[in-house]
Structure 1
Amino acid sequence: MRAIQITEFGGPETLVEVDLPDPEPGPGELLVEVDRAGLNYADTHQVENSYLARMELPLVPGGEVVGRTPEGRRVVVLTTDGAGGYAQKAVGPEATAFDVPDGVDDLTALSMVVQGATAWLLLRRSTHLEPGETVVVHAAAGGVGTLAVQLARRWGAGRIIATASTEEKRALAVELGADVAVDSAAEDITAALREANGGRRVDVVLDMTGGVVTDQSLAALAPFGRLAFYGMASREQPTPIAPAALLSHTTTVTGMWLPHAFGLPGRVVHRAMAELFDLVLRGELRAVPGGEYGLSEARRAHEDLRARRTTGKLLLDPSR
């Protein structure tokens, strides 16, 4: 089969197209003939081995695929490490597979399994959004951000403040339901967020940027405010937080990594996916297409991701 494989860690230049034997599913795993694979910013960390799960070489990157099993089931599934989605066939645990309802296309299925579930968990479990609260969504034109804006609006946020790097991205965030959009390159994010909230501090921040954005977002939180940290796109560490600072400002900082959610009791991710698919089928939640790349264009896709030239959900087509 055609696949992208890396044999050394690094940047987009390490992504090389090769021919490989079909992967073999182990106990409790599914073999999937891939129709589309999802492209995520986390993939760029995976390729340089800078993400939370340490990788072993050689590996086929990519964390999610949609396609059919040999029995004909149409599923979206998170893939097994090393046998990822940048290939014509992939393997994933049955426990992370979800049957795709009729009426849900490939783009939407892939948007929901990582970005949608992440947005759901950030708002429902990490920050416990209450009706009427002000929510800040950083990177609001990205895969998680576009869905988080829509969900926050549906779940009663009093004011949604989006941040994004271009006028086009900020306009998209407002179209999706944000009340106001702020330039993510603002010199003083704290001041920009408070100004966008009528001079008041904010209640909830969803942050996947890191570095100074995290520092300044924390400074914008109201008492009992919560910041949920779920990525580090800037590749910069925030300033260490002293417990006394949390106490003095009555704030909460939480982290969220999707794989941990599969260990929660009550099949939480499955409940999230069922609710997300239901919202999609009722026309109350939509995935934002961000473009499609052929397998041979994987390197360019990573270059675009790292340069922040993308919006919405990106797909990889292994047939070309």
Structure 2
Amino acid sequence: MRAMRFERFGGPEVLEEAEVPGPVAGPGETLVAVEAAGVNFGDIKQIAGEHTEGPYAPRGPLPHIPGMEVVGRTADGRRVLGYVRQGGYAARAVVADRDLVVLPREVSAGAALALLVQGLTAWHLLRSVARVRPGESVVVHAAAGGTGSLAVQLAREFGAGRVIATASSEEKRAFALEIGADAAVDGEAGGYRERVLDANQGQPVDIILDAVGGPVLDSALDALGFLGRLVTYGASSRQTATALLPSRLAVESISVGGFWIVPLIARDGAGGKELEELLGLTARGRLRPLVGAAYDLGRARAAHEDLLGRRTPGKLVLRP
């Protein structure tokens, strides 16, 4: 079968097209003929060799086929969305049954792929970690990105009283307003507290979802109100936060939590009620996943380069 694989660690240039034997499903698994595969930063980190241990680590000796999300057909004709432990950049992939869900007819492949890692992340940030309550104010950093844009919409769906988006450009802030944010502001660290409080009608906020880290996270703590919660799920700034002192958390009665979707999927599987809820909301038009460019499987290098360069918004998709 057709596949993209890497025989050594490195950048996008190490991805090579190859003809390889097709996978065989074992007990509790399903073989899927791949219609589309999702592209993630986790794939880039894997082929770069940044994950030698843990859920992203390649299994066994190289070469390996990357990719963790697929949409396709089963032998009995079901159109499904599945989380692949490894091997999604291929014409066929094996998916554990607990990581598989049947797609509603109304949901496109790109939208479905945007919901798997990014959508589940947004759902758990709000429901499982921040435990958002009706009427609370929610700030979403990087709100025009894949996870951020879904978090904005889900915060509204879950009853948030006021949703404030941060983004780096006027265009991105306009998009955040279009998908349901009540206000959108620049997310830079300097002047952060003043901008966010002004957007929240002069009041400190209840919840902040942060994937930037560093000075932005430090500044975000200043905007939290009594019993406010900040949830960190990334550090795109590649800088270290310095204001997370236990004494401060106690004195100000604020809390900081963290979340990463991969260990949760490894423990519980991906094909549960949360993913079904996200797909249902999308099928009914209440949730709008941000879908980006589609590439032929053989152009996986270009997809990785575009993702790294942030040249195309939305979920990037490979088609075998």
Q: TM-score, normalised by structure 1?
A: 0.89
Instruction: Extract unaligned runs of 5+ from structure 2.
Output: none
- Equivalent-residue separation in structure 2 for 1:106 and 1:54 (angstroms): 23
Partner of 1:70: 75
Contact 1:261 1:269 in 2 (8 A): no
Contact 2:164 2:182 in 1 (8 A): yes
Contact 2:104 2:280 in 1 (8 A): no
| Compared CA separation, residues 47 and 216, structure 1 to 2 (3 A) | farther
Larger mean CA deviation between 127-136 and 223-232 belongs to 223-232
Alpha-carbon offset, residue 35 of structure 1: 0.3
Partner of 1:283: 285
Q: Which AA in structure 2 matches 1:103?
A: E
Partner of 1:89: 92
Alpha-carbon offset, residue 264 of structure 1: 7.0
Q: How does 1:244-255 map to 2 (within 5 A)?
A: 244-255=247-258
Partner of 1:116: 119
| Compared CA separation, residues 135 and 115, structure 1 to 2 (3 A) | same
- Give SS of 1:18's match: strand
- Equivalent-residue separation in structure 1 for 2:248 and 2:271 (angstroms): 33
Partner of 2:218: 215
State which of 291, 294, 299 in structure 2 corresponds to 1:292.
294
RMSD between superposed Cα atoms in Å: 2.3
| Compared CA separation, residues 123 and 73, structure 1 to 2 (3 A) | same
Q: Which AA in structure 1 matches 2:226?
A: P
Instruction: Extract unaligned runs of 5+ from structure 1.
Output: none
| Compared CA separation, residues 268 and 76, structure 1 to 2 (3 A) | closer
- Give SS of 2:90's match: coil
Partner of 1:316: 318
Partner of 2:169: 166
Alpha-carbon offset, residue 2 of structure 1: 2.1
- Equivalent-residue separation in structure 1 for 2:93 and 2:130 (angstroms): 34
State which of 54, 57, 60 in structure 2 corresponds to 1:55.
57
| Compared CA separation, residues 309 and 184, structure 1 to 2 (3 A) | farther
Q: Deviations over 1:198-246 (max 9, x none)?
A: 3332211112222222222223222211112222333334337332222
Tell me how many residue pairs correspond in the alignment. Answer: 315
Q: TM-score, normalised by structure 2?
A: 0.89
Contact 1:134 1:159 in 2 (8 A): yes
Partner of 1:128: 131
Alpha-carbon offset, residue 54 of structure 1: 4.7
Q: Which AA in structure 2 matches 1:216?
A: S
Partner of 1:16: 16
Contact 2:3 2:19 in 1 (8 A): yes
- Equivalent-residue separation in structure 2 for 1:269 and 1:54 (angstroms): 19
